[in-house]
Amino acid sequence: MSRADLLDGPSAEAPARKALSYSSDDIKRMLPHRWPMLMIDRAYDVVPGVSGRGIKSVSVNEPFFAGHYPDHSIMPGVMIVEAMAQLVAVVYVAELLETNEAAARDGDASRSVGYLGSISNMKFSRLVVPGDQLTLDARLGQRLGGLRQVKVRASVGSELAAAGTLVVTTGRKG
Catalytically annotated residues: 68
Return the DSSP state at 15.
P
Q: Which of 43, 48, 73 is nearest to 135 (CA)?
A: 43
Q: Is the dihedral of CA 26, 28, 30, 35 positive or negative?
A: positive
Count of alpha carbons within 13 angstroms of residue 15, beta-carbon side: 3
Phi, psi of 136 (to 5 degrees): -105, 140
Identify whether the C-beta of residue 62 lies closer than 8 Å to the C-beta of residue 122: no
Return the DSSP state at 37.
S
